[in-house]
Structure 1
Amino acid sequence: MGGKHAKLEIPELNLAVTSPAESESIYDDFSAESLLAHWQTLRIPFTESMESLSERQGYLRLRGNDSLLSTFEQSTVATRWRHHDFIASTKLEFEPTNFQQSAGLCCYYNTSNWTYLAVEFDEERKRRCLRVMQVDKQAVSYHFYDNESIEIPDDVRSIWLSVHIEGLTYQYSYSFDGKTWQKLPLVLDAWRLSDDYIDGRGFFTGAFVGLHCADISGFGCHADFEEFSYEPTGG
């Protein structure tokens, strides 16, 4: 072995396999004592002041903090987009009491570029609803607000949210029973969550799909996420 010149043949190495290859699919029921390795938090570590895996066994509890626009303390856990085609989904319980509280599923690049399917509180109707907020180079757009907001029935406790990325576009969906899904009539551009699109600055963070809970009212709400899945759908 060794030497300065490349060899045409080398001896076979008998290397033991210490662990199986990581699956491309992800399923997390939040039963572990700590966050699994595929999760990342934003700028700050996972702490009990913002998130907990022990306060309600089998759930990831996110305490409401700053919004996704904030560069300070967010209650956000996310995992990278690993494929051009995949479905990510989650099941959560959330009872907001005012319009400054929200929780749900987001597709995120940085604080200036993201979308967010959120459970919120409609102040006029005095009930929960589903809405989508989009931030594109700091320009904010609101979808399914006012008369278009999607009302959540009073007897629904668990809400399922999902996002389907298909190449250059993606769409959010929701379900109130985990079986019948409704796709939102809003097609979003996946390429807007890319290094090339973000002003050419090349941050190299890539796109994430994540779970988030916000409460800028300061009343101290929380959301309980029961499960999360990530499933590649490409051929």
Structure 2
Amino acid sequence: MPPIRNPILPGFNADPSILRVGDDYYIATSTFEWYPGVQIHHSTDLANWDLVVRPLNRKSQLDMRGAPDSCGVWAPCLTHDGEKFWLVYTYVTRKDGSFKDSHNYIVTAPSIEGPWSDPIHVNSSGFDPSLFHDVDDGRKWFVNMLWDHRRRPRAFAGIALQEFDPVAGKLVGPRKNIFKGTELDLVEGPHLYKRNGWYYLLTAEGGTAYQHACTLARARDIWGPYETHPQTHILTSKDAPFADLQRAGHGDVVDTPDGRTYLVHLTGRPVGQQRRCVLGRETAIQEAYWGEDDWLYIKDGPIPSLYVDVPGVQLLEPNYWAEQRYTFTDDLHKDLQWLRTPESSRIFSVADGVLSLIGRESIGSWFEQALVARRQTHFSYDAETVLDYYSPSDERQFAGLVAYYCRYNFFYLTVTADADGQREISILRSEASYPEGNLDTPTPDPIRIPNEGKVRLALSIRGGLDLQFFYALEGDQEQQQLQKIGPVFDASILSDECGGHQAHGSFTGAFVGVACSDLNGTALPAHFGSFTYRPVQHAADRYHV
């Protein structure tokens, strides 16, 4: 049985929570402002994973219009109490400054596919909630980090514990701060477990950048006091700057039917001299074991391993490196998402092989923008689309192909028009423009094109560092050949490190897709016939597989 290679969920899949029910494993990850909310993957062998559901998929569950970048749905925790699935998560409406408005909810379902209930609001005292089902007495316990706005710049006050009454649907009894963390600080991401009479509390510390870590503590009583692990941090790359997997932390533990133990955790794989994680925060797995002292240890840890032994055999080739050509016959492919709004019919429709985007607000709007995209999961790839029909009247109407991180970081190849209504191809870009959010100038000169006819738009990214745009027009064979437009851009700005907060404030990942805006307010649509994502095995990639 050959070892598998991390990460097991490449690209933006942060804050993993893992669960086993019988022979089935599930991982839930954060989606932040991307809709629908929460990704749940399924596996039977810990090696091969398939996206099965995004449970927060209707307005009564989730409406994120107005949520800033990297807010929205944080740190889901997926559990099962023997009867049904429980999913707890935070919905964040503000994260910058002294205050964090973070609201914690619970939804349930009889099966992983649903139907998932409408949410119950539990509390708003902090974020990263989880639910612990004590099988010995049947009680349920809710834990979340506590936010204290008075303690700036270190407002992470500790881990709160309170009992949850499933019949009443609310917290009951006293609340106690059971663990204030270690000197690494920024304690969050709590999960509770019980084994051999011990209560174990696994937390994340050190922020989400290069000091990130998994910290373990335990107590005989659920209320504490909790003592920390002999190693303090059971998993971290903070003291190993050249390890393949960096930013390792925010973990969760699972046991296999044959008694083996694993920890899943978020990680990042930096590229370039500026060490930017262009694929965002990904999910990795590590083998662990219980020592004779009843403490959990990471095999060959605490530094995470790139290669790990799990029960299954990783079958990357037919799927991971395959070209994905998305067509639009019935509904969006499960790879594709949009931003914030539950009212998707206001921004797109799918019918008769065409994706129609309805021009709404500007690219990067926090309310209603028409952008449909998929995660970047490879350091090198090509993407292209065909704009079947689009007839802009001026420069305030534009549609096309976009590589996107957030409102401050994107590259956008657009079909638009000049003030006289003559169609042209133009590049819009915003390269690390926080906090102004301005477009970068000068822009490459636009290219005039016919007012009728299809337009083929493409881009290539190599090594996560270099981005080049291309275009071609409908017509004879020579015209249909892709031609370069604009210079080579720095693709690495599509990363957490450039998302507006250098260390601990940008949490998502790079996407690529299609978009449409109408700043005249007339909702002019753009019609796309296809979208293709083509992974490239580029020899220069550090993480080439």
TM-score, structure 2 as length reference: 0.38
SS of 1:164's equivalent in the other structure is strand
Kindly indicate whether structure 1 or structure 2 has the higher relative contact order, using CA contacts under 8 Å at least 6 residues apart. 1
Once the 2 structures are TM-superposed, how far is the Cα of residue 2 of structure 1 from its aligned partner? 5.0
Counterpart in the other structure of 1:95 = 391
Counterpart in the other structure of 2:470 = 173
RMSD, aligned α-carbons: 2.3
Matched letter for residue 453 of structure 2: R
Query: Aligned partners of 1:202, 1:191: CA distance in 2, in Å?
Result: 17
2:460 touches 2:468 (CA, 8 Å); kept in 1? yes
1:123 to 401, 419, 440: 419
2:397 touches 2:519 (CA, 8 Å); kept in 1? yes
The answer on 1:65 being equivalent to 2:337 is no
Segments of 5+ residues of structure 1 without an aligned counterpart are: 7-12
Counterpart in the other structure of 2:484 = 183
Cα 1:140/1:35, change in 2 over 3 Å? same
* Aligned pairs for 1:136-215 within 5 A: 136=431, 137=433, 138-142=437-441, 143-144=443-444, 148-154=445-451, 156-167=452-463, 168-177=465-474, 179-198=480-499, 199-200=501-502, 201-215=504-518
Query: Aligned partners of 2:513, 2:362: CA distance in 1, in Å?
Result: 13
Query: Aligned partners of 1:38, 1:179: CA distance in 2, in Å?
Result: 28
The answer on 1:114 being equivalent to 2:413 is no
Matched letter for residue 218 of structure 1: G
Query: Aligned partners of 2:483, 2:399: CA distance in 1, in Å?
Result: 19
SS of 1:191's equivalent in the other structure is helix
Once the 2 structures are TM-superposed, how far is the Cα of residue 22 of structure 1 from its aligned partner? 3.7
Once the 2 structures are TM-superposed, how far is the Cα of residue 232 of structure 1 from its aligned partner? 1.1
Counterpart in the other structure of 2:328 = 30
Matched letter for residue 447 of structure 2: I
SS of 1:38's equivalent in the other structure is coil
Query: Aligned partners of 2:406, 2:522: CA distance in 1, in Å?
Result: 26
- 1:58-97 C-alpha deviation (Å, 9 max, x unpaired): 1000000011131110111011111111100000121111
Cα 1:2/1:60, change in 2 over 3 Å? closer
Matched letter for residue 61 of structure 1: S
Once the 2 structures are TM-superposed, how far is the Cα of residue 98 of structure 1 from its aligned partner? 2.1
1:78 to 370, 373, 394: 373
- 1:7-26 C-alpha deviation (Å, 9 max, x unpaired): xxxxxx8x9xxxx9645421
SS of 1:184's equivalent in the other structure is strand
Once the 2 structures are TM-superposed, how far is the Cα of residue 202 of structure 1 from its aligned partner? 4.4
Query: Aligned partners of 1:171, 1:2: CA distance in 2, in Å?
Result: 49
2:402 touches 2:513 (CA, 8 Å); kept in 1? yes
SS of 2:486's equivalent in the other structure is coil
Once the 2 structures are TM-superposed, how far is the Cα of residue 221 of structure 1 from its aligned partner? 0.6
Query: Aligned partners of 2:260, 2:373: CA distance in 1, in Å?
Result: 46
- 1:22-42 C-alpha deviation (Å, 9 max, x unpaired): 4542101212x2111100111
The answer on 1:232 being equivalent to 2:530 is no
Once the 2 structures are TM-superposed, how far is the Cα of residue 153 of structure 1 from its aligned partner? 2.0
Once the 2 structures are TM-superposed, how far is the Cα of residue 209 of structure 1 from its aligned partner? 0.6
SS of 2:507's equivalent in the other structure is coil
Matched letter for residue 492 of structure 2: W
Cα 1:81/1:28, change in 2 over 3 Å? same
Structure (1 or 2) with the larger CA radius of gyration: 2
Cα 1:21/1:233, change in 2 over 3 Å? closer
Query: Aligned partners of 1:163, 1:46: CA distance in 2, in Å?
Result: 29
Matched letter for residue 206 of structure 1: G
2:429 touches 2:440 (CA, 8 Å); kept in 1? yes
2:365 touches 2:407 (CA, 8 Å); kept in 1? yes
2:409 touches 2:498 (CA, 8 Å); kept in 1? no
Query: Aligned partners of 1:3, 1:122: CA distance in 2, in Å?
Result: 64
What percent identity do the matched residue pairs reach? 32
2:353 touches 2:529 (CA, 8 Å); kept in 1? yes
Matched letter for residue 439 of structure 2: V
Cα 1:157/1:196, change in 2 over 3 Å? same
